[in-house]
């Protein structure tokens, strides 16, 4: 079954209808550079099919879920952060500041990070 939301920007990227700087692609997932990177490596991994968020993954999506995680390792290798380290983040819902309703993993690396990721600066993407 194929799920495509014509209103969804990430569905359009997956379908090649709007451009993105691809890092990796297979039959299940597409990985591309984030438009507003927060680190030297900032790549998004999305399933080809429209799934709104982590909360809406189902048993039927087990292969897709695994493929996203496997793609994270491939992206880390391709962007040169496999050994230096990287973070894989799924923002999910309002408190996390998820802004695009098509599930995506952020692969972030290439600089030293802090932990925990709060107290948060409640910023909107693209603003400082
Ligand atoms: P979220 O806040 O939903 O976890 O992350 C969405 C991410 O998608 C943001 O980091 C934002 O910069 C990125 N983004 C939004 N629109 C586009 C786009 O059209 N192209 C690319 N490459 N990234 C996008
Ligand atoms: Zn979508």
Position 22 in a domain: yes
- Residue 63: give the domain boundaries: 9-105
Position 3 in a domain: no
Query: Residue 122 has what pLDDT?
Result: 54
Counting atoms of ligand 1 from 1, which one is nearest the CA of 9?
A: 19
Position 87 in a domain: yes
Position 40 in a domain: yes
Span from the CA of 7 to the centroid of ligand 1 (angstroms) = 15
Which of 35, 43, 98, 117 has most ligand 1 atoms within 8 Å of CB, for mutation?
A: 35
Quote the strand ranges of the chain, DSSP E.
22-25, 29-33, 41-47, 86-89, 105-109
- The total number of structural domains in the chain stands at 1
Nearest to 110 by CA among 69, 80, 65: 80
Residues 6 or more apart whose CB falls under 8 angstroms from that of 105 comprise 44, 45, 68, 69, 71, 72, 88, 89, 90
Which of 100, 105, 122 has most ligand 1 atoms within 8 Å of CB, for mutation?
A: 100
Position 128 in a domain: no
**0.85 surpassed by pTM:** yes
Query: Residue 123 has what pLDDT?
Result: 54
- The domain that holds 33 is classified in CATH as 3.30.428.10
Position 53 in a domain: yes
- 104 catalytic residue (yes or no): yes
- Could you report the average pLDDT of every consecutive run of 10 residues in the chain (128 residues)? 89 97 98 97 98 96 98 98 98 95 98 84 53
Position 19 in a domain: yes
Position 28 in a domain: yes
Query: Residue 118 has what pLDDT?
Result: 81
């Amino acid at each position: 079954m194929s799920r495509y939301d014509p209103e969804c920007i990430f569905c359009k990227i997956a379908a090649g209808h709007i451009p993105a700087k691809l890092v990796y692609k297979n039959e299940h997932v597409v990985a591309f550079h984030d438009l507003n990177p927060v680190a030297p490596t900032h790549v998004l991994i999305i399933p080809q099919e429209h799934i709104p968020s982590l909360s809406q993954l189902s048993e039927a999506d087990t292969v897709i879920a695994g493929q996203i995680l496997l793609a994270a390792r491939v992206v880390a290798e391709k962007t040169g952060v496999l050994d230096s380290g990287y973070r894989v983040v799924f923002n999910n819902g309002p408190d996390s500041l998820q802004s695009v309703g098509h599930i995506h993993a952020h692969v972030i690396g290439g600089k030293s990070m802090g932990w925990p990721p709060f107290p948060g600066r409640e910023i909107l993407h693209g603003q400082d």
